[in-house]
Structure 1
Amino acid sequence: MKITKIRTTPLLCKFKQDYHWADGVTLSSPVVLIEVETDEGVVGIAESGVGPTIEPMLAILHDAIPHFIGKSVFDGNKLIWDYFRSGFKARGVGSQYRLFSRTMSGIELALWDAIGKCIGQPVYNVLGGALHEKIGYFGFVQGDRPEELAAHAAQLVQEGYPVLYVKLGRGDALDLAIVKAIRQVAPDVRLRLDANEAWDTLRALRMLEKLKPYDIEIMEQPVPGVGGSEALLRIRSAGVPLSADQSVYLPEEVFEMCRTRAADAIVLGLHETCGALRWRKAAAIAEAANVRINIHGIFETGITTCIGNQVGATVPNLDDANQIMWQLLEEDLIESPSLTPVNGFLPVSKKPGYGFELNRDAVARAHEEYLKRRTWAPV
């Protein structure tokens, strides 16, 4: 089965409401829809994750696509890293693994969808079989002020989510008020916090001490990820479990995080690792250290939810409260299946490929929004 064409469609998917976090306010998800066509009429579909803007990702994709045409869909791993060496790294940007991975992930992931559809099997069978029949997700609390976040947290508890996830890093007083308000309406759920690299060491130690009375299950990447494992080790004395997110993109970085025992969990998305193979490699490294891996969400659509559900089902150390972000969108791109978790869980689809049907009208509207605005941050 040969690759005959790869189509790229830039999309801007608007959020229902302003998304508040440590880095400001975000209004939409910028993604590139990837469609890999084959000589047997099969089309594999995925998306490439967010970059600073869509245009650099499109430029890299369009430069890379000719390297894939006429080649076998089964050679995706070799083709991607051949292009990395000869078409990307050779031009003096070998350190830019993260941009490369997020950009090229859509092609790697679309090839798995094409293979699954071709042989009539879900992707989890292509990758060796499922270990989980359903995947757990946390309730992602949204809002600006503490009372808004608390109201949404109460709603998520009513919907049966056993784990809630809250963004911090917006100012010490506001952060503490947010956590206090949420704990008042959700006293029994497992509570996870994410400061998105907003704190330095001293501030992190002080804030973690103040947050202890609220029974925090885990704090995600409160200090800058560029510091790697050493940055997290400096705040271990606070006695709050830590997860590494922006510290880890490469399997090698996961190895270092596990070797130094700097983190209690690994938070990592399939776009960040350049697709399924390297994400599963990172998961295997974490498993060897008896550490969970959590599917990380970036600004994405239900396409990535379906992908993560399939790939995540194949690893034994998958966390029971992963991240999805399609629910933040004004309109998702998935026609079916339903991606609304029931009591925090989604079943793993048994349909060929990733098992979803695309809403072509929603894709057209998101593309029109990209053409109109070409920006995803407030102006």
Structure 2
Amino acid sequence: MHELTIESLTTLILDVPLTRPHKFATTSMVAQPLLLVRVRTAGGVTGYGEGVVPGGPWWGGESVETMRAIVERYLAPVALGRRVDEIPGLMRHFERVVSGAHFAKAAVDVALHDAWARSLGVPVHTLLGGAYRDGIEVTWALGSAPVPEIIAEAEHKLASNLNHSFKLKMGALDPADDVARVLAVTEALRGRAGVRVDINARWDRLTALRWLPQLAAGGVELIEQPTPREQIEVLAELNHLLPVPIMADESVQSPHDALEVVRQRAADVIAVKTTKCGGLARSRDVVAIARAAGLSCHAATSIEGPIGTAASIHFACTQPGIDFGSELFGPLLFAEELLIEPLRYADGRVALPTGPGLGVELNPDAVAAFTRD
């Protein structure tokens, strides 16, 4: 048997507490469930991937529980006996067996890349064509506390030189209250840090037409996904109206989605999550389409743990088209460290890991401590 042959593909669910509640437009979380996917080869090499969604199935319909069922019942039988360097063929076969399930497929895709790169003794970014940069800027997502506490959190990040731009979630409050809250933060940070907002597709067209111009006039530098994902024409209308960029997130979950956004000029920036796109190859296709059309790309987060974050860093650092920074802060929200050696955050950036595979090593004691029974 060839040493790259896949001997096992197994999963674990972890529940890792956060340092503070993280709020989305429709939900909030105090712990993040992670699905660890573990691929082991005949040569004795183990690679890890991570299945994670931002706050549960409200975002894209998947959860760690559904991902585990898909991976173990449908994807693992396809992979066993194949080789970890057959990634394009395996991903194509997965498409024939399971429709959608991008987050689950991304977890397996990353585990295959990690195992293959470790077998060769090279970093994952080598498999992706080589590093273009050695790190990437990180925007910090501020919490949902009262305004003075949010401002204090931003001031601490600025004073510590940890982050230079910030994002606020919107969509959970009455629009007037939401806008007033954001503009108070924007004014407090004016001239020192950029402020962006993410509405998580929760406003309708009329609400967006009424309130988004006020956000732009008040100094908000970017508006992420204000309206429902399928309403590309509404996103295009808003993008043409506003003097600040619109970023498409929920609206772009495939290369075809990216093409439609390009056709309608519905956004100036595309949020690329290796999770929602179904892995590294499909994410690369999204970036290529955006770059060919002159759109920027942003390395976004699903609040991944260190495995998923490391994979996204490797990806972002190989892509010149990801030219609008990142939100790859996920591990900084975790109250407990899962790695033996943490990812390196400093000077507003996160550094590209340099070791074999993903360049990170899980702490087995931490994994055991948070594994769900």
* Matched position secondary structure for 2:214: helix
Give, as a single letter, the amino acid of the residue that structure 2 aligns with 1:151. A
Q: CA deviation at 1:84?
A: 2.4
Match of 1:24 among 18, 22, 27: 27
Find out whether 1:183 has 2:194 as its counterpart: no
Find out whether 1:254 has 2:265 as its counterpart: no
* Matched position secondary structure for 1:210: helix
Measured in 1, the distance between the counterparts of 2:92 and 2:135 equals 32
Q: CA deviation at 1:320?
A: 4.1
Match of 2:82 among 46, 71, 80: 71
Once the two structures are overlaid, the 10-residue window that deviates more, 159-168 or 257-266, is 159-168
Q: What's the counterpart of residue 162 of structure 1?
A: 164
Q: CA deviation at 1:252?
A: 0.7
Name stretches of at least 5 consecutive residues in structure 1 with no aligned partner. 89-93, 372-379
Deviations 1:179-199 (A, max 9, x none): 233224311212211111111
Deviations 1:188-224 (A, max 9, x none): 2122111111111111111112212322211000111
Q: What's the counterpart of residue 376 of structure 1?
A: none
TM-score normalised to the size of structure 2? 0.91
Q: What's the counterpart of residue 377 of structure 1?
A: none
Match of 2:347 among 340, 343, 346: 343
Find out whether 1:15 has 2:25 as its counterpart: no
Q: What's the counterpart of residue 297 of structure 1?
A: 301
* Matched position secondary structure for 1:19: strand
Matching of residues 15-164 of structure 1 within 5 Å:
15-50=18-53, 52=57, 53-63=63-73, 64-85=75-96, 87-88=97-98, 94=99, 97=100, 100-160=101-161, 161-164=163-166
Q: What's the counterpart of residue 313 of structure 1?
A: 317
* Residue correspondences, number: 357
Q: What's the counterpart of residue 335 of structure 2?
A: 330
Deviations 1:101-125 (A, max 9, x none): 1111111111111111111111111
Confirm or deny: 8 A CA contact 2:270 2:296 kept in the other structure: yes
Once the two structures are overlaid, the 10-residue window that deviates more, 189-198 or 21-30, is 21-30
* Matched position secondary structure for 1:150: helix
Cα pair distance change 1:162/1:299, threshold 3 Å: closer
Matching of residues 267-278 of structure 1 within 5 Å:
267-278=271-282
Give, as a single letter, the amino acid of the residue that structure 2 aligns with 1:58. R
Q: CA deviation at 1:348?
A: 1.4
Give, as a single letter, the amino acid of the residue that structure 2 aligns with 1:336. E
Name stretches of at least 5 consecutive residues in structure 2 with no aligned partner. 58-62
Identity of aligned residues (%): 30
Give, as a single letter, the amino acid of the residue that structure 1 aligns with 2:106. S
Measured in 1, the distance between the counterparts of 2:104 and 2:361 equals 23
Measured in 2, the distance between the counterparts of 1:213 and 1:193 equals 14
Once the two structures are overlaid, the 10-residue window that deviates more, 260-269 or 157-166, is 157-166
Deviations 1:333-356 (A, max 9, x none): 2221433x2121122122111100
Once the two structures are overlaid, the 10-residue window that deviates more, 251-260 or 141-150, is 141-150
* Matched position secondary structure for 2:76: helix
